Amino acid sequence: MFRLFLSLLALVFTATAPAASRPNVLFILCDDLRPDALGCYGSKHVKTPNIDSLAAEGVLFQNAFCTTSLCSPSRASILSGLYAHTHGVTNNFTEYPSTMGSFPQVLQKAGYATAYIGKYHMGEDNDEPRPGYDWFVTHKGQGKYFDTEFNFHGQKREVVKGYYTTVVTDLTLDWLKKQNADKPWCMFLGHKAPHSFYTPEPKYEHTFDDVRVPYPATAFQLDDKPKWIKERLYTWHGIYGPLFEWRKKFPDDRPEAVKDFESMVHGYWGTILSVDDSLGRLRTHLEETGQLDNTLIVFMGDNGLLEGEHGMVDKRTAHEASLRIPIIARFPSLTKNAQKITQQVLTMDMAPSVLELCGAPALTNIHGKSWTKLVREGDATWRKSWFYHYNYEKQFPYTPNVRAIRTDEWKYIHYPHGNGKADRHLAELYNLKDDPGETRNLIGQPDLAGKVSELQAELAKLMAATGLTPAKDKMPLDEGVKSELPDAKIR
């Protein structure tokens, strides 16, 4: 039924919108990219001139967030415009539903040439072509920083020698050079970087050797935090654990063991330099072929990343470092002057925004909202609150079930046990205006009981508006933080 709907809309769209009026789309998605690891978002050490130039000529969203801080759920929200409980991809092992709409499917039906190249990561062991793409090149699982085996649109599997970021950029340029100028195109490039295990290109592996990186101060400010956060310190997702194999002997809470943490961060930063090089190469191609100003370029991350905040690494939690993502868009028809948008923009806003800018039919019954009006003229109706949810994973038993609400100034987080009984973990409350680093958990302050009740009511209202009522909010049983390492095949 959805495909019939798309076909009918496409007939109307292609009959009324000439090719020259439809922009190309270059959508670049990074994995686990923190905003503060980019120059334009304030990094003091990571130089990203090509990404910075994109921001200097377009829109930088200062307060952009994922609604589930996990690769597959977040990617599905980007494609669909939906919260994870609706699209159904609530973990890293679930396939994006073949019958569910996505913005590349809409563009393909509307006459766009479409391609996906790189890390897809929905359906751990599936590297076959997905609906919505004329050309689909991906791999199983996480892929490797060197010599990954790719499946070329179901036609062949081949190990492509070389560094991942360079390889997928080469493949992207190969496809772009074959496109007919009379037909608009949508290229979705999925980088592995900067996902663990962080392995920079050889030319960048020593770039940050002289930069000291201490544990963040909040790693030692845990007295008012839930006990599970302290329990996580010595696990796969804690600062005293193996740090994605940068620490060989663990757990290790000695002060001098911060050197392993520093090396991990250096590796993470190094992978981002190659992503910046990639964007530079792609931009040069668009400039040389006269396509730059008729191409909507979107650069973003799928979810945030904890680098020691509250003693944690990885993501999954509702804390700021786990939620925050970079989103940058360049398209002269959107804005000719650089802008920084302060309103809260979400992963699920990407699909409706891209489709509106392309003049394409909209996805229906979605939760996201196009930010086109917000950028061009402001939008008084823009959201002031949204909710976050994550489900406990047996494969990664280091984070409880999470249900949270974030407003412009406040955040409330609670941790349902999963069986309908009262939460067993301490909740968290933060005044983000006064305490953006979430250093003080205010949940126990009597004078803020009214604020807690207000946020709880708003959280219930937001969830119910998307169909997530208490009766329908099914989640796994929280079996507690465990010390065993995850299976090596799924790290």
Weakly modelled stretches of the chain, pLDDT under 50: 1-20
Q: Residue 138 corresponds to which tokens in the numbers above? A: 């991906």
- Using one digit for the tens of pLDDT, what is the confidence trace for 391-419? 999 999 999 999 999 999 999 999 999 99
Q: What is the pLDDT of residue 21?
A: 74
> Whole-angstrom Cα distance, residue 197 to residue 264?
9
Contacts of 223 (CB under 8 A, 6+ apart): none
Q: What is the pLDDT of residue 374?
A: 98
- How many beta carbons lie within 10 A of that of residue 95, not counting itself? 15
> Whole-angstrom Cα distance, residue 49 to residue 38?
9
- Using one digit for the tens of pLDDT, what is the confidence trace for 60-112? 999 999 999 999 999 999 999 999 999 999 999 999 999 999 999 999 999 99
Residue 382 CA to its chain's centroid (Å): 21
Taking Cα atoms as reference points, which of 470, 92, 166, 103 lies closest to residue 316? 92
Q: Residue 76 corresponds to which tokens in the numbers above? A: 């599905």
Instruction: Tell me if 272 sits within 8 A of 41, measured CB to CB.
Output: no
> Whole-angstrom Cα distance, residue 271 to residue 199?
6
Q: What is the pLDDT of residue 4?
A: 44
Cis-peptide into 35, omega within 30 deg: no
Q: Model's pTM, two decimal places? A: 0.95
